[in-house]
Structure formats: C-alpha cells, structure tokens
C-alpha cells in the first residue's frame, strides 16, 4: 500500500452532458500521488476527455468529489477556484486550442507566466528557458505556431503548461495526431521532465502501447465506467477485466489494430 499523501482523489464522479442530458461518466474514482504518471486509456467515446475536462473544471459533475491537495475542488470559489485552475493544466490534442495562432509563442508563454501583464520583454529569459526545456530553440520566441511542426507545437504547448508551474498536467491525446517518430520524441521529453521536475501527469490516450511506455499506473474506461485500475505492471501482468485483456492482446501493433 502506498503511504505517500495523495495529490488527487476522485470519488463517485458522475457527469451528465448534452441535451437531453446523458450520463457520460458513472461513479468514476481514482487516486494519484505527486510524481506519478497515470495513464487513462479507453476506446474513442469511452469518456476520457470528459473525465480530463471535468478535472480541470470545464465540466461540472452532477455528483461526486474531486479532492486536490486535500481540498474539495467542487466547492472552491473565487480566488481558490482560480488558483486550482492554474494548479491543474490541460493540454489538448489540437495545440491550436492552447496556442493562439495569432500570437507569437513568446506572447503565449508570457500570458501563462503573468496573465495580467503578459510582456515578452519582461520575461524573455524565463521564456527562453522554458522553450529550451522542451528542446525548442529559445531564439524562436517571436515566431507563430504555424511556423512549427506538429510535434514542435505539442512541445510548445507543454512549455506553456509548465510556465504556470502546475502541480498536475493532464495531457489529452497529445501524441495521437503525430507520426510514430514524433510521438516518440514527445514521449521521451515527458519521461525526461518526469525525472528532472517530478512532473505529475495524467496521460490520456486510446493507444495502450503508448500509455504503457510512460505510465506508473493505469485507469481503463469503458462506456464511462472504470473497468480496471492499478499499477501499470499489475494491470499488464494480470488484468482484472476481459476488456483490458482484449486491449493488451491487440496492443503490440497487431494486424490492423486501432481503437479509434
Ligand atoms: N459536450 C458534450 N455534449 C454532449 N455529449 C458529449 C460532449 N462531450 C462528449 N460527449 C459524449 O460523451 C461521450 C464520451 O466522449 P469523450 O469524453 O470525448 O470520449 P473520449 O475522449 O474517450 O473519446 C461520447 O459519447 C461523446 O459523444
Ligand atoms: Mg478524447
């Protein structure tokens, strides 16, 4: 049993979305300690993004609890709510939703560093450091997102998230649109940041092989319910559900394998 204090504890989370309202997440629970990477897996439509977005406050659950650093997020208001919004950073699949195409990447990072007075000139040194942290040439801070490749844009999105100094990063399918070698670059970068910064990460993907390479623990969703959770090793060695077994058996690049 892990005795380290929990950073995030989710209990009996139920989320309804749409009109008419439909139950998307059913009694979802999870727990994470600082420094851990949790892989969130499941086929397309299983509710991964809904869970990720609920954790960062985009969706309001109909019941359940989300405790972060011992505080109940769902009760937070005003300044505390704003602080929690910064503590948990979301990186979407499409970097254009986190990187404004009209702004230079320096401006975007300055905004993350200081939303009230986002001046590149005042933060140049820190912006360069952050870009170099994700292996982007610091001198390119005056460029726009379109001038970078897909993999570079995702690394810039990671730098933007790091700028906020969050306690938790939720990366939602950030490698899914990338080719295999670029995918590996981003995964290696995340693994390095984990080691060097003690990053705590929820890594969301429909691709079990990708998740396996980076996760300490796993949570498998099926139709909005948790069908499996535990250490990555335990889940791979002895999956509790038939569904996870099927995922594992088909994962190592089997013929025509795809969940999406
Ligand atoms: N804003 C929304 N309004 C209504 N239904 C939604 C909304 N977002 C997601 N859904 C539905 O919730 C289910 C889970 O979606 P999602 O969380 O995006 O799954 P995943 O990220 O695992 O592919 C899907 O059936 C999807 O159509
Ligand atoms: Mg999704």
Domain ranges in the chain are 6-250
Distance from Cα 93 to the centre of ligand 2, integer Å: 8
Q: Is the CB of 48 under 6 A from ligand 1?
A: yes
Structure confidence at residue 162 (pLDDT): 96
What is the DSSP code (8-state) at residue 206? S
pTM: 0.93
Q: Is the CB of 18 under 6 A from ligand 1?
A: yes
Ligand 1 contact, 78 CB (< 6 A):
no
Nearest ligand 1 atom, CA 42? 22
Average pLDDT over residues 179-193: 93
Going by their DSSP bridges, the two strands 168-172 and 201-205 should be labelled as parallel
Nearest atom of ligand 1 to the alpha carbon of 206 = 22
Q: What is the pLDDT of residue 5?
A: 79
Instruction: Give the pLDDT score at 255.
Output: 36
227 pLDDT band (50/70/90 cuts)? Answer: very high
Q: Answer whether 61 contacts ligand 1 (Cβ < 6 A).
A: no
Whether residue 45 has its Cβ less than 6 Å from ligand 1: yes
Which atom of ligand 1 is the closest one to the Cα of 24? 12
Burial class (CB in 10 A: 0-12, 13-18, 19+), 254: exposed
Quote the CA–CA distance of 107 and 12 in Å, as a whole number: 40
Which residue's alpha carbon is nearest to atom 16 within ligand 1? 47
Q: What is the mean pLDDT of the chain?
A: 92
What's the confidence (pLDDT) of residue 254?
39
> Residue 172, class by beta-carbon neighbours within 10 Å (0-12 exposed, 13-18 middle, 19+ buried)?
buried
Q: Is 202 in the pocket of ligand 1 (CB under 6 A)?
A: no
Q: State the Cα–Cα distance between residues 65 and 85, nearest whole angstrom.
A: 16
Residue 117 has pLDDT above 90, yes or no: yes
Distance 49 CA to ligand 2 centre (A): 4
Domain 6-250 has CATH 3.40.50.300: yes
Residue 216 has what pLDDT? 96
Which among 35, 39, 60 is positioned nearest to 50, based on CA atoms?
60
How far apart, in whole angstroms, are the C-alpha atoms of residue 184 and residue 178?
9
Is residue 123 a contact partner of residue 159, using CB atoms and an 8 Å limit? no
210 exposed, middle or buried (CB, 10 Å; 0-12, 13-18, 19+)? buried
Per the listing, tokens 């099926």 go with 222
Which whole number is the average pLDDT over 18-22?
A: 96
CA angle 4, 207, 176 (to 5 degrees): 105
Any atom of ligand 1 within 6 Å of the Cβ of 17:
yes
**In this structure, how many other beta carbons lie within 10 angstroms of the beta carbon of residue 231?**
14
Mean pLDDT of 16-22: 96
């Amino acid at each position: 049993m892990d005795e380290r204090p929990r950073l995030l504890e989710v209990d009996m989370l139920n989320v309804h979305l749409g009109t008419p309202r439909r139950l998307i997440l059913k009694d979802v629970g999870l727990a994470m300690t600082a420094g851990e990477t949790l892989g969130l897996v499941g086929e397309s439509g299983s509710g991964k993004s809904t869970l990720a977005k609920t954790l960062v406050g985009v969706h309001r659950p109909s019941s359940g609890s989300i405790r972060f650093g011992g505080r109940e997020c769902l009760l937070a208001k005003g300044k505390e709510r704003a602080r929690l919004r910064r503590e948990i950073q979301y990186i979407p699949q499409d970097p254009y939703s986190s990187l404004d195409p009209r702004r230079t990447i320096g401006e975007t990072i300055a905004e993350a560093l200081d939303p009230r007075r986002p001046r590149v000139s005042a933060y140049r040194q820190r912006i360069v450091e952050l870009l170099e942290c994700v292996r982007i040439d610091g001198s390119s801070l005056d460029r726009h997102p379109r001038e970078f490749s897909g993999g570079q844009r995702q690394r810039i999105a990671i730098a933007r998230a790091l700028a906020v100094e969050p306690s938790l990063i939720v990366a939602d399918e950030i490698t899914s649109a990338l080719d295999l070698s670029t995918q590996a670059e981003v995964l290696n970068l995340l693994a390095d940041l984990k080691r060097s910064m003690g990053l705590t990460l929820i890594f969301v993907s429909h691709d079990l092989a990708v998740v396996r390479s980076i996760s300490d623990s796993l949570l498998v969703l099926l139709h909005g319910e948790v069908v499996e959770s535990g250490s990555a090793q335990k889940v791979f060695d002895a999956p509790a559900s038939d569904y996870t077994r099927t995922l594992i058996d088909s994962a190592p690049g089997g013929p025509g394998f795809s969940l999406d």
